[in-house]
């Protein structure tokens, strides 16, 4: 089961600690690539039509307040016939056979009017996963609070992001939450007007009081100073209260992704009074989100009921301005294993589940007898699996070795064998930063990601290893299923074509993570970090800049540093796109990380469920849990 695969075992919620510390300066690292890196050619894969691009942050100067873009006004992808999508033939054939399974950008608008009532029941986000949450302190945990535990249902933040049929399918769009509007004063200063009618959930010790500017200031400072996200939030220099309904945020340098950061799914607020309660914030979720927590057992059952004073109104076409949310109640139930979860989905006891692989998805659809539908999408950018190499020492500090290892991997064979032909070469620069909504096919990637064992052998000999070498790969001790098959095939390819002897080193998850974060892994290690982030800066500056503590690979390339800084300091969307393309090209050319393959994701839901889906970044019932505020049941 993917939920228990080595890539998810590779990273626990602790991963966010190192990633978000990335903005702090680290000691200079050894240069892992030649001092003058080979610049990539203009590698521009032929892909499907460009995705819907989120409206750009308000460009300075902005003298008047800008209300967040109305979700219904966000442009949506023009419907594309299945046969024209740039996808592998098996995936196209699958969607042609099952017309109730759509590519994620082609999901139709709801055909029924929103309706109040009903209880939405969910379990783990994906088959084989675990439902439940250990606690509610979002400052110390990411995926288990904001994601799998549906913290997004009860918590709110300064801004929010929603993924439904009207907005956010590809790029996450910053929308109002506690802030109803904002404006950019200059390159360093943003002003946010707060809703006057936002209220905390009615439970002691808060008792449903109004959310204040002081609450907003306290929570932003908590995220900056006392959370696992403090690295990302260190860009915020000051938070001041201009008046009871206005806060001003100053950054230490121009930062183009501030709105994305503030709208991030895990970047939420808690009532400050909870800090002084026995056990603190961990004990209960008191937020101002669409649902209030009413029942909770750690790592077990939990339930929410509609927040009667929720301040956000509907953006659903034909029901604009209506009170949200639509469901009366949401329940999260633990189920023991994948088979039980699938049986519950087919029986209508839960309403959605992520399945992996065409074969397994087809079996579920057949068993569902027409009551199920769903979507196909690329893997979340925050879980794009790859191999980290010690670029600070031999043999991996030689770009020829890295290119040889990459070219000796038969990715198509791995796709066909391990993933039922429903996968694609992974990449670490998110596809939407490049204007795509569909990942490139294997033959559309760079020269050094093409299978060419003859050239690989030649490169390795030029690097001084004509007879190969021995190396190790650290991996999760419980690795199994398709992800283990992937590694075994890679091991076989390297031995067969390069005489490189790869030894697996299974480790406990905590040790594996510790070695990665401290950059003390021996030679190579598997990376498949789980991040709720839709912030583009996370995938570039945080993990690639030489001064970032999240740069676990020891990348130290002046060109990379230049473009990772450029993408975060320019407010011009065209210049951002140029920077991301440069970084993508540099990675394709210099193989800073070994990209292998990532699977397509199959999300299935009960056909009664309306306007509920995941997108490129969030999964339904996980990081998209806040989006359930605009979902409903049809009769």
What lies within 8 Å, CB to CB, of 121 at 6+ separation is 330, 331, 332, 333, 349, 350, 351
Per-residue pLDDT at 609 exceeds 60: yes
Tell me which of 230, 262, 282 is where a domain ends.
282
Q: Is the pLDDT of residue 64 over 80?
A: no
**Quick one: 406 and 541 in the same domain?**
yes
- 112 C-beta neighbours (distance < 10 Å), count: 12
Query: Rounded distance, CA 413 to CA 5, Å?
Result: 20
Pair 37, 162 in one domain = no
229-268: pLDDT as tens digits: 888 899 999 999 999 999 999 999 999 999 999 998 889 9
What's the pTM value of the predicted model, to 2 decimals? 0.85
Whether residues 42 and 146 fall in one domain: no
Per-residue pLDDT tens digits for 478-508: 777 888 999 999 999 999 999 999 999 999 9
Contact, 397 vs 32, CB < 8 A? yes
Which pLDDT belongs to residue 171? Answer: 92
Joined tokens for residue 397? 């500090």
448 in any annotated domain? yes
Q: Is residue 567 part of a domain?
A: yes
Do 403 and 276 fall within a single domain? no
Q: 414 with 530, same domain?
A: yes
For range 613-617, the mean pLDDT: 91
In CATH, what number is assigned to the domain containing residue 477?
A: 3.10.105.10
Q: What integer pLDDT is reported at residue 23 of this predicted model?
A: 39
Selection from 121, 22, 13 nearest residue 568 by Cα: 22
Looking at per-residue pLDDT, the higher value among 530 and 422 belongs to: 422
Residue 2 pLDDT greater than 50, yes or no: no
Tally of domains within the chain: 2
Least confident of 54-68, 275-289, 451-465: 54-68
- Kindly state whether residues 150 and 27 are assigned to the same domain: no
8 Å CB contact between 174 and 262: yes
Identify the weakest region by mean pLDDT among 7-21, 349-363, 589-603: 7-21
Predicted confidence band of residue 529 (pLDDT cuts 50, 70, 90) = low
Handedness of CA 57, 71, 353, 433 (dihedral sign): negative
Statement to judge: residues 42 and 141 lie in one domain: no
Domain extent for 541: 2-9+18-46+387-599
Do both 264 and 410 map to the same domain? no
Share of the chain above pLDDT 70, in %: 84
In contact, 456 and 400? CB cutoff 8 Å: no
How confident is the model at residue 50, as a pLDDT?
35
Band (517; pLDDT cuts 50, 70, 90): confident
CB 179 within 8 A of CB 193: yes
Q: How confident is the model at residue 40 (pLDDT cuts 50, 70, 90)?
A: very low
pLDDT at 170 over 50: yes
Q: Give the domain-ending residue among 282, 307, 332.
A: 282
Give the contacts of 307 (CB within 8 A, at least 6 positions apart): 154, 201, 288, 289, 290, 291, 292, 325
> If pLDDT is split at 50, 70 and 90, which confidence band does 534 have?
confident
507 located within any domain: yes
521, 415: one domain: yes
| pLDDT for res 132 | 77
Residue 221 in domain: yes
The predicted-structure confidence for 329-344, as pLDDT tens digits, reads as follows: 999 999 999 999 999 9
Query: Is residue 55 a part of any domain in this protein?
Result: no
Decide which of 218, 250, 282 is a domain's last residue: 282
268 domain residue, yes or no: yes
Q: What is the DSSP letter of 484?
A: H
Lowest mean pLDDT among 21-35, 302-316, 413-427: 21-35
Domain CATH code at residue 277: 3.90.76.10
Cβ-based neighbour number of residue 246 at 10 Å: 17
Q: Is 569 among the domain residues?
A: yes
């Amino acid at each position: 089961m993917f939920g228990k695969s080595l890539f998810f075992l590779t990273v626990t919620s602790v991963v966010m600690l190192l990633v978000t510390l990335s903005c702090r300066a680290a000691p200079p690292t050894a240069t892992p690539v030649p001092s003058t890196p080979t610049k990539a050619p203009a590698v521009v894969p032929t892909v499907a039509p460009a995705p819907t691009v989120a409206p750009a942050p308000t460009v300075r100067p902005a003298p008047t307040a800008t209300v967040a873009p109305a979700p219904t006004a966000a442009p949506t992808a023009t419907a594309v016939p299945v046969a024209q999508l740039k996808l592998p033939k098996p995936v196209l054939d699958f969607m042609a056979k099952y017309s109730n399974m759509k590519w994620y950008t082609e999901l139709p608008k709801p055909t029924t009017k929103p309706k109040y009532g009903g209880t939405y029941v969910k379990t783990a986000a994906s088959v084989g996963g675990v439902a439940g949450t250990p606690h509610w302190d979002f400052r110390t945990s990411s995926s288990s609070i904001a994601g799998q535990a549906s913290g997004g249902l009860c918590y709110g933040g300064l801004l929010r992001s929603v993924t439904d049929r009207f907005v956010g399918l590809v790029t996450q769009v910053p929308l109002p939450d506690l802030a109803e509007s904002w404006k950019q004063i200059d390159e360093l200063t943003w002003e946010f007007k707060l809703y006057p009618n936002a209220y905390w959930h009615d439970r002691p010790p808060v008792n449903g009081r109004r959310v204040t500017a002081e609450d907003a200031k306290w929570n932003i400072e908590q995220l900056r100073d006392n959370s696992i996200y403090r690295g990302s939030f260190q860009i915020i220099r000051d938070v001041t209260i201009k008046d009871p309904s206005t806060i001003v945020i100053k950054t230490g340098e121009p930062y183009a992704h501030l709105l994305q950061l503030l709208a991030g799914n895990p970047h939420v607020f808690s009532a400050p009074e909870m800090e002084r309660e026995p056990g603190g914030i961990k004990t209960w979720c008191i937020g101002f989100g669409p649902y209030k927590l009413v029942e909770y057992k750690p790592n077990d059952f939990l339930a929410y009921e509609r927040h009667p004073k929720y301040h956000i109104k509907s953006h659903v076409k034909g029901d604009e301005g209506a009170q949200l949310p639509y469901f009366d109640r949401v329940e999260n139930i633990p189920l023991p294993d994948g088979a039980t979860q699938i049986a519950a989905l087919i029986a209508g006891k839960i309403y959605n589940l992520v399945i992996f692989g065409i074969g397994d998805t087809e079996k579920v659809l057949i068993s569902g007898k027409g009551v199920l539908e769903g979507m196909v999408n690329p893997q979340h950018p925050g879980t794009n699996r790859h191999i980290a190499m010690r670029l600070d020492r031999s043999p991996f500090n030689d770009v020829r070795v890295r290119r040889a290892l990459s070219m000796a991997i038969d990715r198509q064979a791995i796709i066909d064998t391990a993933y039922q032909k429903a996968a694609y070469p992974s990449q670490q620069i998110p596809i939407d930063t490049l204007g795509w909504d569909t990942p490139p096919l294997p033959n559309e990637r760079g020269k050094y990601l093409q299978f060419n064992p003859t050239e690989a052998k030649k490169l390795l000999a030029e690097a001084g290893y004509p007879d190969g070498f021995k190396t190790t790969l650290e991996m999760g001790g419980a690795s199994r299923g398709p992800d283990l098959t992937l590694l075994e095939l890679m091991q076989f390819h390297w031995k067969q074509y390069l005489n490189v002897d790869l030894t697996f080193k299974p480790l406990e998850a905590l040790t594996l993570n510790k070695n990665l974060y401290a950059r003390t892994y021996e030679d190579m290690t598997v990376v498949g970090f789980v991040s709720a982030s839709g912030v583009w800066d996370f995938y570039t500056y945080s993990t690639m800049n030489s001064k970032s503590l999240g740069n676990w690979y020891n990348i130290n390339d002046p060109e990379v540093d230049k473009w990772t800084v450029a993408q975060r300091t320019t407010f011009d969307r065209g210049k951002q796109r140029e920077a991301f393309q440069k970084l993508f090209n540099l990675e394709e050319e210099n193989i800073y990380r070994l990209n292998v393959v990532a699977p397509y994701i199959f999300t299935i839901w009960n056909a009664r469920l309306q306007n509920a889906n995941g997108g490129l970044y969030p999964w339904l019932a996980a990081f998209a849990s806040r989006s359930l505020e605009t979902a409903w049941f049809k009769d």
